Amino acid sequence: MSEPALACLELSGVGMRYGEGDKALTALTSIELAIAEHEFVTIVGPSGCGKSTLLYLIAGFLRPTAGSLQLRGKPITKPGPDRGIVFQRYSLFPWLTVRANIGYGLAEQGTPRAERDRIVAEYVRMVHLEGCEDRYPRELSGGMQQRVALAQALACKPDILLMDEPFGALDAQTRRILQDEVRRIWRGGAATVLFITHDVEEAVALGTRIVVMSARPGRIKEVLTRDFDVGDGEDYDANPAFTRLKLRVWHSVKEEVDAARA
Partner 1 sequence: MRLALTKLIPLALLLAAWQAASGAGVLPKSVLPSFVDVAASLAAMVRTGEIWPHTAASLGRAGAGFLIAVVAGVSLGLVMARVRAVEQGAEPILLLLYPVPKPAMIPLFMIWLGIGDFSKIAVIALACLLPVVVATFNGARSVDDILLWSARARGTSERRLLWRVILPAALPQVAAGVRTAIAVAIIVLVSSEFISSEKGLGYLIFSFGGVGADDAMLAVVIYLAILGYLLDRFYMAGIRRLLSWHAFTH
Residues that bind partner 1 (CB under 8 A): 56, 59-61, 78-81, 83-85, 87, 89-96, 104-105, 108-109, 136-138, 152, 156
Closest to partner 1 by CB, 68 vs 109, is: 109
- Is 217 exposed, middle or buried, given 0-12, 13-18 or 19+ CB atoms closer than 10 A? middle
β-strands 192-197, 25-36 pairing: unpaired
Shortest CB 79 distance to partner 1, Å: 4
Shortest CB 159 distance to partner 1, Å: 13
Shortest CB 253 distance to partner 1, Å: 26
Shortest CB 135 distance to partner 1, Å: 10
Shortest CB 173 distance to partner 1, Å: 25
Shortest CB 105 distance to partner 1, Å: 4
Dist CA 220 CA 222 (whole Å): 6
Closest to partner 1 by CB, 64 vs 245, is: 64
Closest to partner 1 by CB, 89 vs 248, is: 89
Q: Torsion over CA of 76, 187, 243 and 162, rounded to 10 degrees?
A: 20
Closest to partner 1 by CB, 71 vs 205, is: 71
Closest to partner 1 by CB, 140 vs 177, is: 140
Closest to partner 1 by CB, 139 vs 222, is: 139
